[in-house]
Structure 1
Amino acid sequence: MQIIMLVCLTVFIYNIVDLFMRFVYRKYITYKIRLNDIQKHSLFEYPAGSKRKEPKERISIKLPEKLREDLMLAGLHLRPEEFILLWGIVTVFPGFFALLLSRGIVIVITLVVSGLLFPIILVSILKKKRMEKFNQQLGEALMVISNSLRAGFTFEQALSSISKDLPDPIGTEFKKIVREVELGEELEKSMENVAKRMESKDMELMTTAVAIQRQVGGNLSNILDNIGETIKDRIIIKRNIKALTAQGEISGKIIALLPVVLLVMISMVNPEYMAPMFNTTYGHVLLGLSIVLEVLGYITIKKLINIEM
């Protein structure tokens, strides 16, 4: 009976999320069409000096685009509706399964909160790793571009060659630059978009160097060599700092996870022992204070070991 209820709930959640995303994207397309019509006739509908009122519906279509961009930066080939569907299943399914097995309200709440936070944390971690990998690949890419320029290629041809030869993420991002330039976008603007999207200061430096060289001239290959060497030296220093602060980082994670693990284990082994913590006012106060101190302690440790360059 419990298995049947679990299957029914899963199917129900899937249908609800699917209907919701269909509704959202149907409205999204409708709003896009309406906004295009408004922009086409804006000069005739609003006299000079009058204030235009932006459609309120525009607020409701930002979430899918932001989510789509985050998934793309994380390297996840999922549509926003697919991610939200998986998010809902991961949030509800483990908690309901634990509830059917009567594992206690603490376990259920822990699983639900973990399922709610896990997809967000996963996307954030993958996004950060992809950006770090991009910055690590950029030094090698600059060397290849510099050698291509010395061999007689243009800068655009060198970018096109790298976009085909180098792996993701730098190959993918450079393909976007090449595609945008072919469609008529300025080279500096396309490179600036990649720098902002990947949050890369080194890419911003490369973009500035290319822009200055195009305006006043100069030996671009030597400039790119110097930037590439600077990037490599910075990567080596970052690795040394990470090795020196690894012990403190691991200690911080252990200290942060230890109280949570003990709370869950004691609640599973002896629920009556932990009952006052969840059933009394003093217990609620102590639990809330423990959470606040736990978060503050972890943030303090992160601040101490986080050395920005």
Structure 2
Amino acid sequence: MVVGAFLPPVYLRVRANRRRRAFDDALPDVLQLISGALSAGLSLAQAVDTVVREGPEPIASEFKRVLVEARIGMPIEDAFDGVAARFQSKDFAWTVMAIRIQRQVGGNLAELLNTVAATMRERAYLRRQVRTLSAEGRFSAIILCAMPPLFALFMLFSNPDYLAPLVADIRGWALIATAAAMMTVGTVAMSRLVKVEL
């Protein structure tokens, strides 16, 4: 029952995060593809259709849905907003905002998308640099958080009499609860220290 209650949401969250990362990683190349199609004289809808035929997943299938929604009367910017909301992609939400503004005030959309794609690539490069530089801190945090429960598990199997007073007395349970609370606070603090938002 425990596995059935907790495993499916965890599995779906992992798959969703993987799909979201694939979307964000492929987005600059897709914007470059749309920009090239626009420079060749195609409309925005035709450029999106080019992505559907030649682009990577999961963007190709999502843009196919955009085309279907556009054909039944939804403005293409609103359909793009739906994609940004489903993937929780701030980068694509900013791209849609730029497209919406450009279509209202005019300008070269192909050049705008090229600029946005270049900015996304620079941000991705900076994000990878930060992740590399913070790897030591993250690894230290994982080791520090894993050591107490692993050591307790080791002692439970190697010398159970040593841990018996901890679970046989109410004061032992109070100590366990205090240690768990301190571990939680420490884990949250370390995760915030090594997490850098870009």
Alignment TM-score, normalising by the size of structure 2: 0.91
> Which of 121, 128, 132 is the aligned partner of 1:232?
121
Cα deviation digits, residues 184-217 of structure 1 (max 9, x gap): 2221111111112212121112111221222222
> Which of 109, 120, 125 is the aligned partner of 1:220?
109
1:128 to partner: Cα distance: 2.6
Confirm or deny: 8 A CA contact 2:35 2:111 kept in the other structure: yes
2:3 counterpart residue number: 90
Task: Give me the whole-angstrom Cα distance separating, in 1, the residues matched to 2:72 and 2:168.
Answer: 64
Task: Give me the whole-angstrom Cα distance separating, in 1, the residues matched to 2:55 and 2:38.
Answer: 17
User: Within the alignment, does 1:154 sit opposite 2:43 as a pair?
Assistant: yes
Q: Unpaired runs of 5+ in structure 1?
A: 1-87, 92-115
Greater RCO structure (CA 8 Å; 6+ sep): 2
1:108 counterpart residue number: none
1:258 to partner: Cα distance: 1.4
2:130 counterpart residue number: 241
> Which of 177, 189, 201 is the aligned partner of 2:90?
201
1:288 counterpart residue number: 177
Task: Give me the whole-angstrom Cα distance separating, in 1, the residues matched to 2:39 and 2:91.
Answer: 22
Q: 1:156 corresponds to which letter in structure 2?
A: A
Confirm or deny: 8 A CA contact 2:26 2:56 kept in the other structure: no
Cα deviation digits, residues 98-117 of structure 1 (max 9, x gap): xxxxxxxxxxxxxxxxxx65
Q: 2:175 corresponds to which letter in structure 1?
A: L
Task: Select the structure of larger CA radius of gyration.
Answer: 1
Which runs of structure 2 are paired with 1:1-309 in the superposition (5 Å)? 88=1, 90=3, 117-309=6-198
1:81 counterpart residue number: none
Large movers: runs of 4+ above 6 Å: none
Task: Give me the whole-angstrom Cα distance separating, in 2, the residues matched to 1:170 and 1:258.
Answer: 41
Alignment TM-score, normalising by the size of structure 1: 0.60
Task: Give me the whole-angstrom Cα distance separating, in 2, the residues matched to 1:214 and 1:156.
Answer: 13
Cα deviation digits, residues 45-91 of structure 1 (max 9, x gap): xxxxxxxxxxxxxxxxxxxxxxxxxxxxxxxxxxxxxxxxxxx3725
Q: Unpaired runs of 5+ in structure 2?
A: none
Q: Secondary structure at the match of 2:137?
A: helix
